[in-house]
Chains A and B, each alone.
Chain A
C-alpha cells in the first residue's frame, strides 16, 4: 500500500482547500488553509523534498496562516460573508474554475511525454541540505541577492503602509487647521512632533 499516504494526504489537502472556499466564517477558512498547507507539506515529504516540507510548515503554516488569523481577528468582522446567496456568481465562477481544470487536464493528456516519464523513478534529489546550499551560493547567487533585496523592500513597504495613516491624518489636520489658527496651530505642532519622532526612529 505504497500509494495510500498519497491518496490520504491528497484527499486531506483537497478537502481543506474546499473548506477554505465554502466556509462563511473567515477564521474557519484560515484554519482550513492551515490544514491544507500541512497536507501539502506531507505531500512534499512524499516527494522527498524534506527541506521544503519543513519550510512549508514554518513559513506557510507558521507565519502566513498565523498572520492571516491575526488580521482576521483584528478586523472583528462578524459572520464573514453576508447570508445573501449569490447563485449566479457561484455558477459562473464554478464554470470558469471547471473550465480551467479541464484545460489543465487536457493539456496534460495532449503532451503525453509526461506519462512516458512518469514511472521512471530517478535518484533522489532535494533530500540533502548540502545541495540547496551549494546551488544557492553558486548558480542562484543573483536570485538570492535579489530575494534579500525584495525582503528589505517588503519590510520597508509594510512599515510605510502601517505609518501612512498617521501621516495622512496629520496632513488633513494641517489642511483643516489652516482656517483656524489658534487650535489648528497646536494640533499641527503635535502632529509634526509625532511625525519627526517616528521618522527618527524608523531609519
Chain B
C-alpha cells in the first residue's frame, strides 16, 4: 500500500494525488493484494507438513493468481482475462479432484499424510 501511495504521488500532480488517492482503488492495489496472497500461500506450502494443508495453500496461490488476472482484465477493458479465469477455475476443480484422489490413495497405502513420514524415495 505504501508503494502504490508513493508511486501515484510520483506520477501525478500532488493536488490531484491527494484528492484522488483515497477514493481511487487502482490496479496496483489488486496486484499487491494478489502478490501478498500468493506469498502467503507460498509460505504455507513451504512451512506446513500436512499434505492436505499444503494442497490448501496451493489452491490459495492459484486463486491469488486469478485475482490478478481479473484485475488486469478490468483495468484494461478487455474480456480475455475473465475468460482465462473461467478456464482456470474449471481446471482447478479438475485438479483438486485428481489431487485429492491421489492423496486418498496415498493415505490408503501409507496411513499417513504427514510429509516427513513419506520418505520412500529417500531410503
B113 to chain A, nearest CB (A): 6
Residues of chain B lying within 8 A (CB to CB) of residue A18 = 40
Q: Is the interface of A mostly helix, strand, loop or mixed?
A: helix
| Residue A118 at the chain B interface, CB threshold 8 Å | yes
Let me know if B33 and A13 touch, CB within 8 A: yes
User: Shortest distance in angstroms between A146's beta carbon and chain B's nearest beta carbon?
Assistant: 9
- B residues at A contact (CB < 8 Å): 3-4, 7-8, 11-12, 20, 22-33, 35-44, 46-50, 52-53, 55-57, 59-60, 63, 66-67, 70-71, 73-80, 82-83, 85-87, 89-98, 100-105, 107-109, 112-114
State whether A115 touches B43 (Cβ < 8 A): no
Contacts of B36 in A (CB 8 A): 14, 101
Inter-chain residue pair count (beta carbon < 8 A): 250
Give the size category of A's interface with B.
35 or more
- B24 contacts across to A, CB distance below 8 A: 3, 118-119
**Given A52, A56, A116, A165, which contacts B11 in the complex, CB threshold below 8 Å?**
A116
Asked whether A147 and B70 contact (CB < 8 A) given A17-B41, A20-B56, A82-B49, the answer is: no
Give CA–CA (A40, B38) in the complex, Å. Answer: 13
